[in-house]
Amino acid sequence: MQLTVTQTPINEYQGDALILFVPSEGELPAATATINNELDDFINQLQQNDDIKGKVAQTLVIPQAKGPRLILIGLGQQPVKGKDFIKALNAAASALKTSAANTAAIDIRDIELDGFDTEWAYKQIGQAFQGALYHFDECKSKKDENPNTIESLTVIADNTAELDLKFGQALAKGMAYTKKLGDMPPNVATPSYLADEADKLATMSDNLATKILDEDKMEELGMGSFLSVSKGSIEPGKIICMEYLAGKAGDAPHVLVGKGITFDTGGISLKPGAGMDEMKYDMCGAASVLGTMLAIIELELPINFVGVIAAAENMPSGHASKPGDIVTAMNGTTIEILNTDAEGRLVLCDALTYAIETYEPASIVDIATLTGACMAALGRVNSGLFTEVDDLAQELIEASNTSRDTVWRLPLQEEYQELLDSNFADIANIGGPLAGATTAACFLSRFTEGQKWAHLDIAGTAWHSGGKAKGASGRPVPLLVNYLANKI
């Protein structure tokens, strides 16, 4: 989709459609009022007749015999809350995509936002309209020959809006890539597939290089915890390192570590069959790191950033780990495996150790679909945030508020650590039935001591379950891209 900025008035636009916003009360925004006046008070009459009441995201498409069709979008009350503005933009993008129009113009300069500036608003435009183009048909034998699309969007604004629109568009492309990787079937999206995708990204930027650790190298490095998971599958595990070095030479990189369990049966601690197909989404932490890297490349951000992916399958077999096994992690910690379905932390702990020893990061954040307990606590609204570093927590919370990809900070207190005590090893891989999200984070904290580290549990936010809604969400790419962009 092409994004164009112009200062030409909206009533002179010659394309297919005009996107106009209608509030639930008060005066029409300037662009809508201009068209309303030219059409002899037509939009006001539609409001008076209750054809459009201005409720948030309400949509009405009006064909025009002469000139562009009108796509009217309810805006709610002004000043408009950030979440309502995003809902309105998504409704506008969806209406444009499903209409017969391929081109449109939009002008939001006179819309009053509650707590957000126009720079933020233009980022949301780029994200919403580019994001509407996501469509997954990779595995269908009959593809839509003429899929609905958006060829171009003309934004009436000052030229300074171009960078913000580009930021939002790049973010949406990263989200779409994350969604595609998550939606791929697990017989395609294997650890080797993720490694190949990382190599493809490296061809897009001279600043990016990839390094892949195979199981022989992991054995040499003493990654017994990771290998205890991957050994149950015929698919070999991989640790994938993507080194994007576009910042100042010698500056320590910011590191993201993604959980990439490309399918999670639970291992010997087998999951129930119902809904197990959605366990292909257990690699969405890894997918979000790849999506974030794509967005960073698109934006050419001058930053030193390393993405590390711990990719493996968790399968039951004669080679799989058993409850009661004890394994040794890369840092020498011995781990009693009480439940083989708590495998994400087993691959992440070795990946974290490797990332810390190799890159000496300025900050390190892991992203994982780690616990059902976090989903039970926060639902599908917030991702769980765990860290003992207050300034890092604040940075991530600010990025989440800006991106509207929200998080909620959960406790990580010393008192929870004793729940991981083991009679036979240094640590157990689960902490019992209580505080499951926190004990999982406590486990990871044992491998990140002294680091500026945070853990994001995205079990509830990485995908949508069931029916037509089922699919990867692309979260937390908006949070991560904003977090990294704020480091510049």
Active site residues: 271, 345
Q: What is the DSSP letter of 80?
A: B
**Three-class SS of residue 376?**
helix
Q: Which of 263, 351, 368, 370 is nearest to 306 (CA)?
A: 351
- 341 and 257 Cβ atoms separated by less than 8 Å: no
Q: Going by DSSP bridges, is the β-strand pair 383-386/2-6 parallel, antiparallel, or unpaired?
A: unpaired
* Tokens encoding 459: 């079990």
CA–CA separation, 167 vs 464, rounded Å?
25
Neighbours of 318 (CB within 10 A): 5
What is the secondary structure of 259-319 as a DSSP string? EEEEEE--TTSPPPSTTGGGGGGGGHHHHHHHHHHHHHHHHT---EEEEEEEEEEE--STT
CA–CA separation, 444 vs 58, rounded Å?
45
Q: Going by DSSP bridges, is the β-strand pair 453-457/69-76 parallel, antiparallel, or unpaired?
A: unpaired
**Three-class SS of residue 173?**
helix
- 352 and 365 Cβ atoms separated by less than 8 Å: no
Find the distance separating the first CA and the last CA of the chain, reported in whole Å.
Answer: 27
Q: How far is CA 260 from the centre of its chain?
A: 14
Instruction: Name residue 209's beta-bridge partners.
Output: 243
Q: Which of 214, 215, 320 is nearest to 264 (CA)?
A: 320
Q: Where are the alpha helices (DSSP H) in 360-430?
A: 372-378, 390-403
Residue type, 468: K
The sign of the dihedral angle between the CA atoms of 176, 182, 185, 189 is positive
- 3 and 171 Cβ atoms separated by less than 8 Å: no
Q: Which of 190, 138, 440 is nearest to 315 (CA)?
A: 190
Q: Which of 305, 308, 304 is nearest to 218 (CA)?
A: 308
What is the secondary structure of 119-145 as a DSSP string? HHHHHHHHHHHHHTT----TT-SS--S
Q: How far is CA 459 from the centre of its chain?
A: 12
Q: Going by DSSP bridges, is the β-strand pair 103-106/17-23 parallel, antiparallel, or unpaired?
A: parallel
The torsion angle over the Cα atoms of residues 382, 384, 390 and 396, rounded to 10 degrees, is -50
